[in-house]
Structure 1
Amino acid sequence: MQDRFGFQVQATDGKARTGAISTPRGEIRTPAFMPVGTAGTVKAMLPESVRATGADILLGNTYHLMLRPTAERIDRLGGLHTFMNWERPILTDSGGFQVMSLADLRKLDEEGVTFRSHINGSKHRLTPERSMEIQRLLGSDIVMCFDECPALPADDARVAEAMRLSMRWAARSREAFGDRPGHALFGIQQGGVTEELRAESAEALCAIGFDGYAIGGLAVGEGQEAMFGVLDYAPDMLPEDKPRYLMGVGKPDDIVGAVKRGVDMMDCVLPSRSGRTGQAWTRRGQVNIKNARHQDDPRPLDEECGCPACRSYSRAYLHHVFRAGEMISGMLLTWHNLHYYQELMAEMRGAIAEGRFAAWEAGFHAARAEGDIPPL
């Protein structure tokens, strides 16, 4: 088994890349979609079910786990992999985004952030050094630098100030991470939607040196056009021989557009959250299972899909259990959505390897433009 972290690009088609990240816990095929296991679980899924969808890696959440059950407790119980019964790679975010978006009464200074828990109001302090310590206690394979994520919209001066603070924190994260063979540390590019700030951030990160590079501060309300505008240049600013991770993205067409522009890794709560609220993602776009049109429909969600929801259950049944508030509704729709997302990644990997990504992308958009199958 590979005993250290590595990355190899195996084929390119335009800017799109396919390859593999190697870790001691197994290979991650890229482009990769990482399901989000916020509090040590992908909601409504067993870990073996998540693996069955084709996922090579999960994301864990530093902020949520440090508050409950605490990183120290998880460490005593054998680390996050053992604790949540997932033996493959785990990436943990740094906690920065959740502190900014969820915590109460947060106070930011040069050293870090002081905040109150959204769970019980208890007071906590998060710094680059503490974030590295928490992620070490969790035992994650890919660790993210601690950064500041300003809420958008924000003016250029505010975005520049946050980016430069994040770069100082990146240097401190690198120092605190130390030498951990088999584990990787990713830097996070910031700079909003301003090319000069993105370039300054990328230069600072490359000077520090990381095992991979994330593009942060997007998918926070700026819209797809603005996001793609940044992705037209941002990945090119980062080293070609390291993985590029777009944080918090997204919808299927966001993912396809990101891969087209040179992104290797993505994560998002969307497929699991949508599944719990009656939304299914299919090759023909989105299906809202709560709509009355499905109540007498004996057909599957997607007849080409091999997931349990499509193999064994009708739209009528899925509509019924959602309306009845049954737990199986969220379980089946989440499984379907995660299966679809992983199928999407596998199709893109194949298309890039065979040099037919443009044709594949055209087919992807054409199928979605057709819309859902007509009602009976």
Structure 2
Amino acid sequence: MSQLRTVQVLGGGAGSSAHVTSLATGLVARGVQVTVCAPADGEHARTFPATGARFTPVPRRGDPASVVALRAACADADVVHAHGLHAAVRAGLALSGRSTPLVMTWHHRAHAEGARRRVLHLLERRANRAAAVVLGTSSELVDRARLRGARDARLAPAALPPGRPTLVHGGKARAELGAVGRPLLVSAGVLAPHHGYHTLLDAVHGWRELDPVPLLVVAGEGREEEALRHRVVDEGLPVVMTGRRDDLGELLAAADLAVVPGREDGRPAVAREALRLGVPLVAAGSGALRDLVGQAAELVPYGDAPALTGAVLRLLGDPGRREQLAGAGRRQAAGWPTEEDTVAHVLSVYDELAQPLSVAGRE
């Protein structure tokens, strides 16, 4: 049998780009011919050829020429694999009239309101119906794919980026933040409405009367940042907003608790790093996050400030429970899928879909 040929189609997200880089590396090492189609930029042009894959630049999704370019790039493919909704819709159009199977990995669930929400639902239906197999990175996405008309939706092991080595200077970090002699809580992420940071500030009111008063550090930026900063000042909250930080591991290593207050789209870095480092975690229990943390976190309903306050107060008052969660977090992180697991699973799907071609005697 000749070499299996796949085309990977990116929608442009940073998370999917890292995933495809890992996937391409593993597939090429197993003898698969890989072509990666993505918008032309310097990083893509350097990264993907370094994996051994062929890189084919295509126009961005708003350009009508994008589908034409994808159709040409996929002409000889045995399997096309799209990463994200937009990529799947364009790939489905490019494969129109052909028998080439399409796989979609649905990495994250987007959120929208009003007219944009209706457009998003339409996009979800088109993407899921176009794919022969949908690989959801959480059980929530698998259920949603089925709801949106997927013929075959499966939970996919998705490797997480390896944690960077963390230099632990807890005392120094706490001193810089003003958290010497008081509990330190850390939260980090994109400061967007559905990520729950206003709920988190509401929850702060429930522990500001403790002695000593816990300090909450919020690292990140986004369209809610200005409004959140105003609230911190106007309400006199014991909160430090640091803006974007590249030393999340160091911040968490100094923390007593990590907090994820929002309805996360995927597997938030603060939750991943907290479990890896053994930092007790309090989080809003979305489906994707439940899959990530298992029993290794205190989970509360999204948008419920009193529940969030209560969980934080219980953990601050219970060193034994914090120690239990720290150990559970490290064990949970040790069991996350590896890059080897992810590549092996994806290749098994490709082999399954390409089987009819093999039976037909493609040489």
Please say which structure displays the higher CA radius of gyration.
2
Report which structure shows greater RCO (CA 8 Å, sep ≥6).
Answer: 1
Q: Which bracket does the TM-score occupy, shorter chain normalised?
A: 0.3 to 0.5
Which one has the bigger helix percentage?
2
TM-score (norm 1): 0.35
